[in-house]
């Protein structure tokens, strides 16, 4: 995050408006030539909510979307313990276990999303 003082978004005012449905924020989005890399960050032992799971699986099924879930944080420095790619069928597959593997994954994604 470029602005460490930026507040988190609270959707509590929308509770019940659409039944159990609430908006979800996305932690990371990259776009390159109409290809998208979506990332959700979680700390160790922090779980994806059911709504997040549904949302991320729906994105993963879409053409031109790659979805990852990262276990780590960016509090004082970027720490990546491991990360998963959500496959088109919705199953998570381990994609890396370090910050360097995370960076390599992003570079590979970028290079594979070159202009048509």
Positions of the chain with pLDDT lower than 50, given as ranges: none
Q: What is the pLDDT of residue 114?
A: 81
Q: Write down the pLDDT at residue 5.
A: 65
pLDDT for position 86: 98
pLDDT at residue 3 in the model? 62
Q: Which pLDDT belongs to residue 62? A: 98
**Cα 92 from chain centroid (whole Å):** 12
Alpha helix positions (H), the chain:
50-61, 99-112
pLDDT of the residue at 89: 97
Dist. CA 50–CA 82, nearest whole Å: 21
Domain boundaries, the chain: 25-112
- The tens digit of pLDDT for each residue in 67-95 reads 999 999 998 899 999 999 999 999 999 99
């Amino acid at each position: 995050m470029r602005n460490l003082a930026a507040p988190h978004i609270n959707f509590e005012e929308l509770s019940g408006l659409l039944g159990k449905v609430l908006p979800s924020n996305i932690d990371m989005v990259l776009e390159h030539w109409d290809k998208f890399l979506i990332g959700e960050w979680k700390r160790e032992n922090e779980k994806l909510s059911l709504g997040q799971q549904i949302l991320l699986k729906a994105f993963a099924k879409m053409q031109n979307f790659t979805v990852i879930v990262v276990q780590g944080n960016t509090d004082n420095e970027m720490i990546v313990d491991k990360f998963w790619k959500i496959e088109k069928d919705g199953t998570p597959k381990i994609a890396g276990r370090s910050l360097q593997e995370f960076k390599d994954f992003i570079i590979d994604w970028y290079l594979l999303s070159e202009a048509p």
